[in-house]
Chains A and B, each alone.
Chain A
Amino acid sequence: AQSVTQLDSQVPVFEEAPVELRCNYSSSVSVYLFWYVQYPNQGLQLLLKYLSGSTLVKGINGFEAEFNKSQTSFHLRKPSVHISDTAEYFCAVSADHTGGFKTIFGAGTRLFVKA
């Protein structure tokens, strides 16, 4: 079975500062990795995904993440955040144990961008 650990439940940061949201995973098989963002009272929006190939993946809204297989990590970064980036961010993994590729989510990290 796979699991996801998001190491920070809340990350406060000032506007225009860089940010890193940390995510570690465990799995006995190859995984596919995702970051989703959830704004208040809204659904899940895919930020970026790692399926294969280059370990540095770029997503929407200026976010990027790096897949590190040896450290089983998939940290999300943005060089300069905006107030509008305030939201809940979920790291997620998907792996084929039963053919279904269910997605397992981390507990979420609340990014709070201050002016």
Chain B
Amino acid sequence: EPEVTQTPSHQVTQMGQEVILRCVPISNHLYFYWYRQILGQKVEFLVSFYNNEISEKSEIFDDQFSVERPDGSNFTLKIRSTKLEDSAMYFCASRGTGPYEQYFGPGTRLTVT
């Protein structure tokens, strides 16, 4: 069964550094998403991406965040200058053309020290 993959599984970085989290969505999916889960809290929507542009973003997704689909397979989330409060699990998800469920990747745990 096709699945969403994410790399790395765990990323440790120092405050102020840039990080790029990578995702490979399911190959025939057209809608892509990033979510964040701070430890012990609920999963929060960050951004949705379709047709090479952001279709919606949350208040969390400020100018420090950006997304890109650099080629036909990868979908990336960049945090320009990480803060301690960016420490969280980041989930990528993708969806096909119908209003069906999103398929989530296993997540990248980001630790900012």
Contacts and interface: CB of A to CB of B under 8 A. Distances in A.
Contact of A107 (B42, B101, B102): B42
Question: Looking at chain A, what size class is its interface with the partner chain?
Answer: 20 to 34
Contact of A42 (B45, B50, B99, B106): B106
A101 B42 contact: no
Given A98-B55, A101-B95, A44 B45 contact: no
B15 interface: no
B91 A103 contact: no
A53 interface: no
- The secondary structure that dominates the A interface is loop
B48 A102 contact: yes
- The secondary structure that dominates the B interface is strand
A92 B44 CA distance: 11
A51 B99 contact: yes
- Residue of A34, A99, A101 with most chain B CB atoms under a 10 A cut-off: A101
A49 B11 CA distance: 32
Given A44-B91, A100-B55, A106 B42 contact: yes
Nearest to A96: B99
Contacts of B105: 43
Interface of A: 32, 34, 36, 42-44, 46, 49, 51, 90, 92, 94, 96-108
